[in-house]
Amino acid sequence: MSAAQQRPVVGILWMVVTGLCFVAVTALVKVLDGRVPAAEGAFLRYLLGLVFLLPVARTLLATRLSARQWRLFGLRGLVHTAGVTLWFFAMSRIPIAEVTAMNYLTPVYVTILAVFVLGEKLALRRILAIVAALAGALLILRPGFRALDPGHVAMLGTALLFSGSYLLAKILSGEVSATVVVALLSVTVTIGLAPLAALDWVTPTMFELAVLFGVACFATAGHYTMTLAFAAAPVSVTQPVTFLQLVWSVLLGVVFFAEPADPWVIAGGTVILLAISFITWREQQLKRQAITPPVPATKT
């Protein structure tokens, strides 16, 4: 992107909207309060979201993939299926702010996995940033100082699985269009979640269906506005704005869900985000192809 094409203020504003969309996703899932089993909630979110694929259905049907690409798409679908299920489970167990803060770990995992999957090299600065991010995670979890909930373990798994999904998308995006990558994720995850949902099916009410459709709407809108943000300004400019997601999550938890603000969670999330922002900034400075994704890029 040339300097003349950069519109940092526009990019920041679109990223603010993106953050609001993804916080709305989190809040709506929290409203369900576990009344719908995790796998079923995730399945219905993706099933209802398939309506947004209608404009690209013809492109999707006309796409011809190799056997290897089908395997990679299938693997990504399985990995993302597990990640989304764990995320819905975590949302029913732990405060919104903790889910948001721990989700910041996903880009850190991507940076680590890229060493093994893509042959990336870790300079000392990136290693120190990763160590700082992991220290931030310890601030959030504080093992030994409080009892850890299964939701915390689920979020650690969610971040790891989403990082694997992102790396697979990174590989596939160099071979097929972004539209196909996004659309096939929705299709494969819906298929992958179907049998899991059937194992513990609870007939949802109209209200619960409306909430899950709202989740699908805000998630889709968030990915769209994120694309607009990246088109307007470099990731190094928009990345720090994602800190506002943690601020809004804390406020939502306090005001609507009676979840007290935890300064340790805020501090840990801040440390992780600063580490991610540093890695992103270094990638921009070195003019290298970005491997570490911006925080919103790995959202459900």
Q: Is 185 exposed, middle or buried (0-12, 13-18, 19+ CB in 10 A)?
A: buried
Question: What is the average per-residue pLDDT within 152-177?
Answer: 92
Q: 212, 178, 228, 211: which is closest to 17 by C-alpha?
A: 228
**How far is Cα 292 from Cα 275, in angstroms, rounded to an integer?**
11
Distance of alpha carbon 197 from its chain centroid, rounded? 21
pLDDT tens column, 66-103: 999 999 999 999 999 999 999 999 999 999 999 999 99
The helix/strand/coil state of 275 is: helix
pLDDT reported for residue 24: 93
pLDDT range class, residue 147, cuts 50, 70, 90: confident
- Residue spans of the domains in the chain: they are 8-298
How is residue 57 written in tokens? Answer: 């259905």
Residue 165 has pLDDT above 50, yes or no: yes
pLDDT range class, residue 136, cuts 50, 70, 90: very high
Other beta carbons less than 10 A from residue 159's beta carbon? 23
pLDDT range class, residue 4, cuts 50, 70, 90: very low
pLDDT range class, residue 144, cuts 50, 70, 90: confident
Output the pTM of the full model.
0.89
Residue 270 has pLDDT above 70, yes or no: yes
